[in-house]
Amino acid sequence: MYTIGKLSKETGVTKRTLDYYDEIGLVNPSSRTSGGHRLYGEEDVMRLERVLALKYMGFSLEQIKSILESSKLNWKQSIQQQLEMVKKEQERLKLLEQALLGVSYSIEFEGGVSWPIILNMIKILHQDPEEVFEQYQQYLDHEDMNKIKAVNDRMTEEDMHEWMQANYEIKKHLHLDPSSEQALQLAQRWADQAERMFESDDELLGDLWEALQNLEEEGIAFYPMDKEIIGFLKSVLAVHKGAK
Amino acid sequence: MYTIGKLSKETGVTKRTLDYYDEIGLVNPSSRTSGGHRLYGEEDVMRLERVLALKYMGFSLEQIKSILESSKLNWKQSIQQQLEMVKKEQERLKLLEQALLGVSYSIEFEGGVSWPIILNMIKILHQDPEEVFEQYQQYLDHEDMNKIKAVNDRMTEEDMHEWMQANYEIKKHLHLDPSSEQALQLAQRWADQAERMFESDDELLGDLWEALQNLEEEGIAFYPMDKEIIGFLKSVLAVHKGAK
DNA sequence: TATAAAACACCACGTAACGTGATGTTCAAT
DNA sequence: ATTGAACATCACGTTACGTGGTGTTTTATA
């Protein structure tokens, strides 16, 4: 028989928690002393351990209570549900990580917090892609959109970093002569990373590039693409093609 | 100028939430009607959007309030902290998923809920490996332990499934003649999966196998390994070796 | 066996970010 | 002027306990 203090030390659960579990009927001591002190027996300890296991698995105390009194069928269902919840939560966190990384890089490269970029990024990640790529509707078909979303999902931390940096470098050097070697290198860097991210799906990349050029407002390609960047790339491309 | 209802519809935030944000001074309307109705201006809408973005990124309202009034330096720090939190949470969820999968398979194969298995699984995942593999201390060195932990981290859903099933199949057929073809196949299946999980690190696998045999109590190898299973494998191995 | 110290029971308030009414007031349209 | 919709404000509920208080029981020591 454990007193509440002993049990607390044994299991690492605070007294208050045991208090609470007693109060809500989740783990009741099987007996008491004449003076009213709680005494927990072996079964009580077992029950507590099970409760802790289920708690670790992410169930609420309410759910735990009902699970512990239910049948096999209910068990399987609960576990499956919980599994799905966990998977969804993991996806959410993956997106969250991307958003935070984006903001982090945006601070790093832009030298400060750029709200338009952040808000766009959140939009991309927060809602379904349909709504964000709405402006592309007239230029890209449904298949393209899905592919682009897949590209976004595949993007690693390094991809994101390189992509934002390449864009930022261009922004910093918009004044460069499009025919200069340096401009060509910047454009090349941009194109290389785009190639990498699109896994050489040149058709898709071409479609997106077309769409970006035709857009009237600012475009988004995992990062706000302002007209300036697009214009710069366009002019470099023109010179380069002409020279060839 | 938006009234609270308009703003609510515009942004998808409930009135109560706007109420609350006003109350705690997170987003205050910049003016009111003579009658006291709230009127939100463009800046207020912008502020709200920023708040929502930060909320999406997982910050508490308290943090958001201070972030919105702080400097760049503070920003970077906050984002980095949040990033780390998110990464940690993701690791936790990965473990959680493993635990749930384990329980799910245990129900599937054992035909019901087996608490010893569940509690062991939770122990494996919950606390640091030191404590769980304590019993192996005398048989395995530190390096081996870390490798085993790495194996655990690498384990996919399919690995786990196959592993538990292979173990379960053996449990079901303990009575088989060790020299029978069927027994050999069961053992082979077990060994194959072990090989796969250990990525052919035969030395490590050998060490673990040694340890498992020498243990007096039940062992754990990503799943409770009872003496019966070990005994079965041992006898099959003996017959097979003898025959060779 | 008396007494002091430790452990305990039980109570109540606090937390975060709102949801859900309830009541009384102001606005917009008729 | 009236009426229905929108609004302001209040208050209690939610989860899983933490924190602290008061008064009682148990345990250790003299």
Assigned domain for A79 exists: no
A195 touches A205 (CB < 8 A): yes
Assigned domain for A78 exists: no
Assigned domain for B31 exists: yes
List, for residues A181-233, the tens digit of each pLDDT value: 999 999 999 999 999 999 989 998 888 888 888 876 666 666 667 788 888 99
**Tokens in use for B130?**
């030191």
How many CB atoms neighbour CB A49 within 10 A? Answer: 17
How confident is the model at residue A20, as a pLDDT? 98
Domain around A46: 4-69
- Provide the residue type at A151 as one letter: V
Which 3 state secondary structure label does DSSP give A38?
strand
Q: In this prediction, what percent of chain A has a pLDDT beyond 70?
A: 92
Integer CA distances (angstroms), B199 to A70, B150, B156, B195, in order: 40, 11, 13, 6
**C24 C1' to A26 CA distance, Å:** 43
A131-138: long-range pairs with CB below 8 Å, 24+: A132/A220, A133/A220, A135/A215, A135/A217, A135/A219, A136/A211, A136/A215, A136/A219
| Band (B107; pLDDT cuts 50, 70, 90) | confident
Q: CA-CA distance, B114 to B122, in Å (whole number)? A: 13
Assigned domain for A39 exists: yes
Q: CA-CA distance, A114 to A16, in Å (whole number)? A: 46
**Tokens in use for B179?**
């020299």
Q: CA-CA distance, A160 to A26, in Å (whole number)? A: 48
The residue with tokens 């990373």 is: A193
Packing angle of the helix pair B42-56, B4-11 (nearest 10 deg)? 40
Q: Which residue has the higher pLDDT, B214 or A45?
A: A45
Average of per-residue pLDDT across B189-212: 89
Q: Does A75 touch chain B (CB under 8 A)?
A: yes
Q: Which of B72, B93, B122 shows the shortest C-beta gap to A113?
A: B72
Assigned domain for B171 exists: yes
| B191 and B239 fall within a common domain | yes
Q: Do B57 and A103 touch (CB under 8 A)?
A: yes
Which 3 state secondary structure label does DSSP give B226?
coil
Final residue before a domain boundary, out of B40, B69, B98: B69
Average of per-residue pLDDT across A33-60: 96
List, for residues A67-107, the tens digit of each pLDDT value: 999 877 788 889 999 999 999 999 889 888 888 988 888 88
| B173 and B135 fall within a common domain | yes
| B203 and B111 fall within a common domain | yes
| A158 and A236 fall within a common domain | yes
Q: Does A91 touch chain B (CB under 8 A)?
A: no
CA dihedral A167, A172, A176, A182 (to 10 degrees): -60
Average of per-residue pLDDT across B2-26: 97
Q: Which residue has the higher pLDDT, A70 or B19?
A: B19
| A43 and A121 fall within a common domain | no
Residues 6 or more apart whose CB falls under 8 angstroms from that of B20 comprise none
How confident is the model at residue B43, as a pLDDT? 96
Domain at B28, CATH number:
1.10.1660.10
**C22 C1' to A146 CA distance, Å:** 49
| Band (A111; pLDDT cuts 50, 70, 90) | confident
List, in sequence order, the alpha helices (H) in A127-180. Answer: 129-132, 142-154, 157-172
| Band (A16; pLDDT cuts 50, 70, 90) | very high
How confident is the model at residue A124, as a pLDDT? 72
How confident is the model at residue B29, as a pLDDT? 98
| A22 and A116 fall within a common domain | no
Q: Do B104 and A83 touch (CB under 8 A)?
A: yes
pLDDT > 90? residue B177:
yes
| A100 and A46 fall within a common domain | no
Assigned domain for B83 exists: no
User: Can you spell out the DSSP letters for B23-64?
Assistant: HTTSS--SEE-TT--EEB-HHHHHHHHHHHHHHHTT--HHHH
List, in sequence order, the alpha helices (H) in B57-180. Answer: 61-67, 72-110, 115-126, 129-132, 142-154, 157-172
A25-30: long-range pairs with CB below 8 Å, 24+: A25/A65, A26/A51, A26/A61, A26/A64, A26/A65, A27/A51, A29/A4
| A20 and A113 fall within a common domain | no
Residues 6 or more apart whose CB falls under 8 angstroms from that of B45 comprise B2, B7, B10, B11
| Band (B37; pLDDT cuts 50, 70, 90) | very high
pLDDT > 90? residue A24:
yes
Q: CA-CA distance, A229 to B65, in Å (whole number)? A: 34
| Band (B120; pLDDT cuts 50, 70, 90) | confident
Q: Which residue has the higher pLDDT, A126 or B37?
A: B37
The residue with tokens 């100028």 is: B1
- Which range is least confidently modeled, A67-71, A82-86, B30-34, B217-221? B217-221
Q: What is the mean pLDDT of chain A?
A: 87
Q: CA-CA distance, B25 to A218, in Å (whole number)? A: 33
Residue A39 pairs in a beta bridge with A31
Chain B positions in Cβ-Cβ contact with residue A72 (cut-off 8 Å):
107, 112-113
| B230 and B120 fall within a common domain | yes
- Which range is least confidently modeled, A18-22, A109-113, A158-162? A109-113
How confident is the model at residue A191, as a pLDDT? 92
List, for residues B75-94, the tens digit of each pLDDT value: 888 999 999 999 999 988 98
Q: Do A76 and B104 touch (CB under 8 A)?
A: yes
Q: Which residue has the higher pLDDT, B107 or B128?
A: B107
B91 touches A94 (CB < 8 A): no
Q: CA-CA distance, B64 to B53, in Å (whole number)? A: 10
Q: Do B79 and A103 touch (CB under 8 A)?
A: yes
CA angle A103, B95, B93 (to 5 degrees): 35
| B109 and B186 fall within a common domain | yes
Assigned domain for A183 exists: yes
Into how many domains does chain B fold?
2
Interface test with A, best of B71, B73, B79, B160 (most A CBs within 10 A): B79
Closest CA to B57 of A121, A130, A157: A121
Nearest residue of B to residue A115, measured between CA atoms: B50
Closest CA to B238 of B168, B184, B170, B181: B184
| B15 and B123 fall within a common domain | no
Assigned domain for A80 exists: no
Packing angle of the helix pair B227-243, B202-214 (nearest 10 deg)? 120
Nearest residue of A to residue B99, measured between CA atoms: A57
pLDDT > 60? residue A244:
no
Q: Does A88 touch chain B (CB under 8 A)?
A: no
| A25 and A106 fall within a common domain | no
